[in-house]
Amino acid sequence: MTSIPGVTAVVVVHGSDATTVRSCVESLLSSTGIDIHVVLVDNASPDGGTACAPWRGRDADGVHLLTSSHNGGFAAGVNIGLAHRRRGDMICLLNDDATVESTAIAKLAAALTDDRSVVAAAPRVMLAAQPDRVDSIGVVIRANGEAFNAFIGQHWADQIHNGADVLGPCFGAALFRADAFGATSVGPIDERYRLYYEDVDWSLRAQRMGLRTVAVTDAVVFHQHAASTRLLGEPARYELVQRNLLLCAAKNFTPGAALRVWGSRIVVQSKGIIKGPYRAERVRSIARALWGLPSVLRARRHLPRTRAVDEQSLFAHSAGLEPNFDTDTYRASDETGRPQTGL
């Protein structure tokens, strides 16, 4: 008899309302073909835990609630959750503003059963407000350091097939092997980023080791893009993205490529400081990247010296793609809209 795979789903809550969180958790618990256990992390949410209150003391119902007194960022919240997963379970990461179709997790699990080089599976995530438009099928990064969700804003038209390699998973919705975040594999999520680029960093580390992520396009997830992070506001989001872009390049790119990213980005930000917008945020993004630079350079020394995949092959995943998404309206841009970069 075929055993049902075990999955621990880690959901980090910050800023979503009770209805959104309930929809997320209940969609996971309604999954078929798997044995699923939800670890719900209240990451010092601004509502004082109201959104997670229905799940207090509900371990018997498949939900284990953890409360953090300090919000150390998304990566820190996930790492808290991972410490409480069931031994041997595959790991699902799902944003609290997302819901899964009932068969999605089982389809992702099936993609991880054979080839040990496949460390993660990326579902087809659709924008909840525009369900004919893609939110992500993994992530991509360009040679200039800009990263974004693959295919975001595009009408779904079978652009990529089941089982195709992608650069790496978007942490908003993905499934991982049980050992994916262990010391003998890719390792834990880097908490230096706080929010944004932590999945890109992890993906580049996986690629360096020759570990792959595959697309599972018949596993469907719906995501209310940035519903739990809009409280930041666009200026603060911009600052985080620009800071983390520099840190990610310094940690993961070859020295020459990292220097080119830092040089070009400093030129861009210097012009922006003169012309605007986000003058203060541009200054802070560079200053905070410089402050964090020694730490990521120390972390870089612990990465494998050789790369299983060359840098140009990594950047090739972004070829022909644009982030067709407007961060002011949180909707896919129309055909005449200006694509937004650095999501």
pLDDT in tens, 167-213: 999 999 999 999 999 999 999 999 999 999 999 999 999 999 999 99
What CATH number belongs to 6-230?
A: 3.90.550.60
pLDDT in tens, 220-242: 999 997 766 677 788 999 999 99
Give the end-to-end CA distance of the chain in Å, rounded to a whole number. 45
pLDDT in tens, 267-325: 999 999 999 899 999 999 999 999 999 999 999 999 999 999 999 999 999 999 999 88
pTM equals 0.93
Domain ranges of the chain: 6-230, 233-312
Residue of 25, 147, 40, 32 whose CA lies nearest to 98: 25
Torsion of CA 100, 226, 187, 25, to 10 degrees: -30
Q: Are 97 and 24 in contact, with CB atoms under 8 Å apart?
A: yes
pLDDT at 16 exceeding the cut of 50: yes
Beta bridge partners of 99: 222
Rounded to the nearest 10 degrees, the angle between the axes of helix 279-300 and helix 234-252 is: 30
| Predicted pLDDT at 133 | 95
